[in-house]
Structure 1
Amino acid sequence: MIKGFGQKHLGFRFRIHPLFHFVLAFSVLTGAFVEIITLFVIVLAHEMGHVGMAKALGWQVQEVQLLPFGGVAIVEDKGAVPVLEELAVAAAGPLQHVWLIGFAWLMRECGWWSVEWSQYFIEANLMIGMFNLLPILPLDGGKIVQALISCYLSYYRALQATAWASLATSVLFLTGALSYSFAHNVHLNAIAIGLFLCYANWEHKRGLPYHFVRFLMKREQFDRASGMALPIIVHREQTVGEIVRMLMRDRQHLIYIADEHGGIRRIIREQALIRHYFNRNNGRSAVSSLFM
């Protein structure tokens, strides 16, 4: 880990995954060291695009990790920031490849880079950029899809939908890599990436309750007073746990509690509901037992 430099000069930790050293060693043995270092620089530029946008928006950047198959910038919790900001941060990484491709073209036109090297650099940027736009978590495309879906579904349902879709797409990616390897040449990189994505998404799916709890804990940090409250009508017998799963991102809510005949018996703010959910561990309690 390049710990001291990152924390002192950049404000976040900078870590290189141990397996990346094995990749570098293998590249030396195979004579592909320059190509691997080039990919390293491209991935670093991609991640610094995320970091630059996040810092410009006032986010807290915790760590940047460079993995054998790419990189990841660990920033504030998803769901705790506005959707537009998350979209901007997610898109900032792939957008770095636009100027990198333009830079390679300029170097070629000026005669400072060979046609072959410029072509390799451009193709590497296209490959990394397009791969990161796949609708799979934790790739940028998956983050963008999740942010967009959370505009139309409750945050809990958005988490579930994107987790299942991302896991299914990861399995399809791995299946495609294996099928190609059986039909043509073995593609170890694609298989390894597919296995990594499947594992990462399985772990992400298992951690959905944790992500949702973090979302609830962060809701009171943002000023939503300027927006109109979105009503949620619930039956008196519905549990607090069921109701908090109806909350939407970037919206404040008023909870209307109805009786058996559909009449509204009580109106409560979402903050009161969340406090009961946490402070009294009443997620399974009927809302009527707490507010009526």
Structure 2
Amino acid sequence: MIKWKGIRFSVHPLFVLIMLASVATGYFTELMTLFCIVLVHEMGHVIVAHGFGWTIREVKLLPFGGVAEVEDSGSVPAREEALVAIAGPLQNVWMALAAWGLGQLGIWHAEWTAYVISANAIIALFNLLPILPLDGGKLMHAMLSRSMTYHRTLRWGARISLVLSGCMVLYAVIPWLHAGESGIQLNLLVVGLFLFLTNWTYNRHIPFLFLRFLTTRSAASGRHLVRGAWALPIIVSKRHTVSSALRMFKRDSYHLIVVMEDQGRVLAVLPEQQLVNGYLEDGKPDRAVYDLFM
């Protein structure tokens, strides 16, 4: 593990296993090239994230990319998350073009040029799959959050990722299920299982991820107030629980909670900070929103 500008860079055990296998099979040079491609890919994310002022704790390098642990997860705008996500595959574009240029100049052999170009293409395209925590999954997450509440974004992001990673596992074992075909696609199976188990854990941790989102709302609300922003009202009855109102929050919006009677009379207007603080202080999700005024 190395540390650069406060960010820990570590190699995932899955990558270590592939490294050991490459040494045993004589493909160490190819693997070290792949390692460098993955590192540059991930540095694209890190540089753009730093440009937005994000706090990145750790980057774990995987054979197909990396996973960054971001302290500000949930509080950053969807636009920033999308730009940080696409920054990785863009590194593969220029690296593939550079390899092609070196091949055209005769500096690299045609076989090696083809390997570097294909490695970059595979890493870029694979990372664009809409599966968390891949770059495509983060782009999907950012797009979903533009139209859904943040809680629904977490749920649907996990569901889509589980279905697609499950399909990847199934596709890897299809040859084994058909007599006369070749064996299991081991590489695809291992990666598919890793993504499926990662998203299974992610799905179980959604309550904690949503709580972390709520704890960052104060900073996000402050940014809205400083620059001025339209408020998106959330209309609830006085019987609505605090948790049901909080689950209506959207990522990039500032909310005013309007409490109304069945007849349409407005009982109170509550700024979102008061709702969040009331929940965080007493931790009673089933408490009625109107009780916060009592």
Paired position in structure 1 for 2:9 = 14
**Deviations 1:179-204 (CA, angstroms, capped at 9, x unpaired):** 14444343111000011011000000
**Alignment of 1:53 onto 2:51:** no
AA of the residue aligned to 2:198: A
1:57 Cα deviation from its structure 2 partner: 1.3
TM-score (norm 2): 0.94
1:53 Cα deviation from its structure 2 partner: 0.6
CA contact (8 A) 1:150 1:158 kept: yes
Distance in 2 (alpha carbons) for counterparts of 1:138 and 1:22: 20
Paired position in structure 2 for 1:173 = 168
1:142 Cα deviation from its structure 2 partner: 0.5
TM-score (norm 1): 0.94
Of stretches 194-203 and 279-288 in structure 1, the one that deviates more from structure 2 is 279-288
Paired position in structure 2 for 1:195 = 193
For 1:142, which of 130, 137, 141 is the aligned residue?
137
**Alignment of 1:123 onto 2:121:** no
1:147 Cα deviation from its structure 2 partner: 0.8
Paired position in structure 1 for 2:91 = 96
Distance in 2 (alpha carbons) for counterparts of 1:76 and 1:87: 17
**DSSP-derived class of the 2:67 partner:** strand
**Deviations 1:208-262 (CA, angstroms, capped at 9, x unpaired):** 0111011111011131121110111101101001000001111101111111212
Distance in 1 (alpha carbons) for counterparts of 2:195 and 2:14: 16
Of stretches 24-33 and 124-133 in structure 1, the one that deviates more from structure 2 is 24-33
Task: Check 1:70–1:180 CA distance in 2 against 1; reply closer, same or farther (3 A cut).
Answer: farther
CA contact (8 A) 2:92 2:120 kept: yes
CA contact (8 A) 2:64 2:123 kept: no
CA contact (8 A) 2:55 2:72 kept: no
CA contact (8 A) 2:14 2:63 kept: yes
CA contact (8 A) 1:59 1:75 kept: yes
CA contact (8 A) 2:43 2:88 kept: yes
1:38 Cα deviation from its structure 2 partner: 1.1
Query: Equivalent residues in 2 for 1:70-81 (5 A)?
Result: 70-81=65-76
**Alignment of 1:219 onto 2:201:** no
Paired position in structure 2 for 1:244 = 246
AA of the residue aligned to 2:215: M
Give the gaps of 5 or more residues in structure 2.
Answer: none
1:290 Cα deviation from its structure 2 partner: 2.5
**DSSP-derived class of the 1:224 partner:** helix
For 2:57, which of 56, 59, 62 is the aligned residue?
62
**DSSP-derived class of the 1:64 partner:** strand
Paired position in structure 1 for 2:182 = 184
1:20 Cα deviation from its structure 2 partner: 3.0
AA of the residue aligned to 1:262: G
AA of the residue aligned to 2:113: S
Paired position in structure 2 for 1:158 = 153
**Deviations 1:160-183 (CA, angstroms, capped at 9, x unpaired):** 111111111111111111114444
**DSSP-derived class of the 2:146 partner:** coil
Paired position in structure 2 for 1:86 = 81
Paired position in structure 2 for 1:281 = 283
Of stretches 53-62 and 243-252 in structure 1, the one that deviates more from structure 2 is 53-62
Distance in 1 (alpha carbons) for counterparts of 2:176 and 2:135: 26
**Deviations 1:62-103 (CA, angstroms, capped at 9, x unpaired):** 111123554222223321111111111111001101100111
CA contact (8 A) 1:77 1:214 kept: no
- What count of residue pairs does the alignment treat as equivalent? 287
CA contact (8 A) 2:35 2:63 kept: no
Distance in 1 (alpha carbons) for counterparts of 2:280 and 2:197: 31
**DSSP-derived class of the 1:87 partner:** helix
**DSSP-derived class of the 2:147 partner:** coil
1:19 Cα deviation from its structure 2 partner: 4.3
- Ranges of 4+ aligned residues in structure 1 off by more than 4 Å: none
CA contact (8 A) 1:13 1:63 kept: yes
CA contact (8 A) 2:234 2:256 kept: yes
RMSD: 1.4
